[in-house]
A = this chain, B = another copy of it.
Amino acid sequence: MVKAGIIGATGYAGGELVRILLGHKDVEIKWYGSRSYIDKRYADVYRNMFELVEDVCRDDNLKELAEQVDVIFTATPQGFLASVLDEEILSKVKVIDLSADYRIKDVAVYESWYGIAHKSPQFIKEAVYGLCEVNREQVKGARLVANPGCYPTCSVLSVYPLIKEGMIKPETLIIDAKSGTSGAGRGAKTDNLYCEVNENIKAYGVAVHRHTPEIEEQLSYAAKETVVLNFTPHLVPMNRGILVTAYANLQEILQPDGSYALPSKEQLRSAYEKYYGKEKFVRLLPEGVCPETKWVEGSNYVDVNVVLDARTGRVIMLGAMDNLVKGAAGQAVQNMNLMFGLPEEEGLELVPMFP
């Protein structure tokens, strides 16, 4: 039985971790951390947990927690983990960080986009970027996993096969993403009130959103060159779900007959099958079927597809997932499973809920 502690258990991602871990047969939650609700019963904050969770919320004490559990999930504001993590903690416990603190390898990039100083850059190199489908083997041996952001998970997985195979021109890549409102967190802000979000759609963080460098870094590894792209997030009036619509110009590839030509529709699909054919949690939809966030709600799936537009010479890459599951808590549990040698899908065989 893996003993787990959660720091930030009363945010939406933290709550989703609780939901998933309660159904995980090899894990026991030992610590519900929540600075905002210390000593309050967890089930009084999230009434869905009534009669399911009896614990009270506790303060954030990583040192103490490291003595009691095998794994710590941190679903905390940017900068928190970096300010408290030390070698002693990491020597005792595995850490899966749902914040951005260790996702970006270049600390200057992190500090520039996030506007804060990084307090423990010495762990950045060690941290494994926990996109399981790409970094599975490294995750298995990690002490510290940087759980990917919601937008980066969906963006990278939607684009990865084509950029990896050199089928698109990296410099033409544009990612237009749409997210449900749980991605904005549970903070009480006017902008996130029901009446402000409902019946409304808007772009935000245009050209400056913090997930941009994370996406660029991961795609640069795949492309084996520096990728600079446009990423535009939008806020959609729904609770859960991220949809990515990505555009790029096709690039000629070496064909079987020795010539160079743009990839065919079949070659595009083959690229996705090559990388995802054996992946449980990435589903390549049948040709012509567009991913919809509702089809993956509550599950750890990412549904992807690709459309070739011969008129423009571009490809449209589409991906849909649940931002709180594969985009946060589900992927964190997937990482935990890998780190503890459990079956990767344990606790994650959640059937999407419709409607």
Contact = CB atoms under 8 A, between A and B. Distances in A.
Give the most central of A46, A195, A198: most B CB within 10 Å.
Answer: A195
A203 B22 CA distance: 29
A289 B241 contact: no
Copies of this chain, complex-wide, total 4
Interface stretch (A78-86, A116-124, A176-184, A331-339): A176-184
Interface in A5-22: 12, 15, 19, 22
A311 B202 contact: no
A79 to B, nearest CB: 23
A239 interface: yes
B353 A307 contact: no
A247 interface: yes
A314 interface: yes
B228 A176 contact: no
Interface in A203-245: 203-204, 206-207, 228-230, 232, 234, 236-241, 243, 245
Given A290-B202, A293-B200, A48 B354 contact: yes
Interface stretch (A61-69, A130-138, A294-302): A294-302
A199 interface: yes
A294 to B, nearest CB: 4
A239 B354 CA distance: 9
A193 B191 CA distance: 9
Contacts of A311: 207, 228
A355 B239 contact: yes
A157 to B, nearest CB: 16
Nearest to A280: B51
Given A19-B351, A199-B199, A318 B206 contact: yes
Nearest to A247: B174
A200 B48 contact: no
Given A47-B295, A174-B174, A207-B307, 17 more contacts: A47-B289, A172-B172, A174-B247, A178-B178, A178-B234, A186-B193, A186-B195, A193-B194, A194-B237, A201-B236, A201-B243, A203-B290, A203-B291, A207-B316, A230-B247, A230-B312, A247-B247
13 contacts: A46-B354, A47-B295, A48-B295, A50-B283, A50-B303, A174-B314, A178-B201, A194-B239, A198-B238, A202-B293, A203-B245, A240-B355, A298-B353
